[in-house]
Amino acid sequence: MQSSAAMKPITRLAFVINAGKAGAPEVARDLIALARQAGVAVVETEQYPLPAGFLRGFDACCVIGGDGTLLGVAREAVREQVPLIGVNRGRLGFLTTFTADEARVQLAALLAGQHRLAWRSVFDCSTGPGQHDLALNDVLIKDEVNSRLVRLEVVADDELVTTYTCDGLIFSTPTGSTAYNLSAGGPLLHPNAEVVAMTPICPHTLSNRSIIFRHDVRLRVFNRTGRAQLLVAVDGQRNLVTCADNPVEISVSPLKLPLIQRLDYSHFAVMRTKLNWSGGIAD
């Protein structure tokens, strides 16, 4: 879902800076100076994931780093409904779509409201009472020991899907379809597709492939591996503790992540560039 109507000007802007990325501190210094010249109130931090409440009251947050940096901010941005501006100092940059030069040139226009919002689906994942998190990209379920196979029974709503013997399962949002899901042979999904992708990792049968579920599905994954403990990784950054008596539950959250994009943003232009697509019609 995208909003292309005129946006309100940004008057309070948070900066999250991954100082470990080459050039990120210099880009941050330039953008913070430009924001202050525009009369915008600014706060900056190099800490991520962000502490609860950090973004409360801000109009937007500028994340300078790679997609991993943005993932470390996304959970708090979803909870506070604060739009993110991603400035790429990493590698691919599917989420951090502004280059440093683009950010310097376009920041004034973005602050003035000349941008659009893209609303990205997120997962609500639970492994038991008090074990709950949000995921923008994906939820990975596997054995705690990398070399062990797992048996995972998947139930969609109240219907058994199947029991996988595999290295693990990846549940991906459309946004996360270009991440671990793609590396494991899963499908590319348009960000606006209201679906959930499930991709087995190295399943022990050639007939097991990705399954696409409708967005309002309630998924439950039961550990049928015996005594093995599961690892449930959220966005590849945070782990949830599992309990033998509780399934892993995954559903699409009613909340979405707002991403700030330039007015001429093209999803497929990003795909062509980041994935090095080539080919065309010969003259």
Domain membership of residue 281 (yes or no) is: no
Q: Judge if 133 and 238 occupy the same domain.
A: yes
Q: What is the CATH number of the domain that holds 138?
A: 2.60.200.30
Active site residue 67: yes
Domain membership of residue 249 (yes or no) is: yes
Compute the C-alpha angle 76/82/87, nearest 5°.
90
Q: Judge if 232 and 129 occupy the same domain.
A: yes
Q: Judge if 71 and 104 occupy the same domain.
A: yes
Could you list the residue range(s) of the whole structural domain that residue 100 is in? 2-115+262-274
Q: Judge if 96 and 163 occupy the same domain.
A: no
Q: Judge if 66 and 29 occupy the same domain.
A: yes
Domain membership of residue 282 (yes or no) is: no
Q: What percent of the chain has pLDDT over 90?
A: 82
Residues of the chain with pLDDT under 70: 1-6, 279-283
Phi and psi, residue 106, nearest 5°: -100, -5
Q: Judge if 83 and 160 occupy the same domain.
A: no
* pLDDT for the residue 273: 87
Domain membership of residue 197 (yes or no) is: yes
* pLDDT for the residue 283: 47
* pLDDT for the residue 80: 98
Q: Judge if 11 and 133 occupy the same domain.
A: no
* pLDDT for the residue 111: 98
* pLDDT for the residue 1: 63
Instruction: Return the structure tokens found at 128.
Output: 């038991």
Look at strands 138-143 and 168-172 and give their pairing. antiparallel
Which tens digits make up the pLDDT trace of 16-57?
999 999 999 999 999 999 999 999 999 999 998 899 999 999
Looking at the 3D structure of the chain, how many domains does it have? Answer: 2
* pLDDT for the residue 6: 62
Domain membership of residue 283 (yes or no) is: no
- CA-based torsion, 218, 213, 137, 85: positive or negative: negative
DSSP 188: P
> How far, in Å, CA of 39 to CA of 36, rounded?
5
Q: Judge if 34 and 96 occupy the same domain.
A: yes
Q: Judge if 141 and 209 occupy the same domain.
A: yes
Q: What is the CATH number of the domain that holds 266?
A: 3.40.50.10330
Catalytic pick among 67, 138, 143, 167: 67
Q: Judge if 84 and 55 occupy the same domain.
A: yes
Q: Judge if 212 and 98 occupy the same domain.
A: no
Q: Judge if 18 and 128 occupy the same domain.
A: no
Average pLDDT value over all residues in the chain: 93
User: What is the pTM for the complete model shown?
Assistant: 0.93
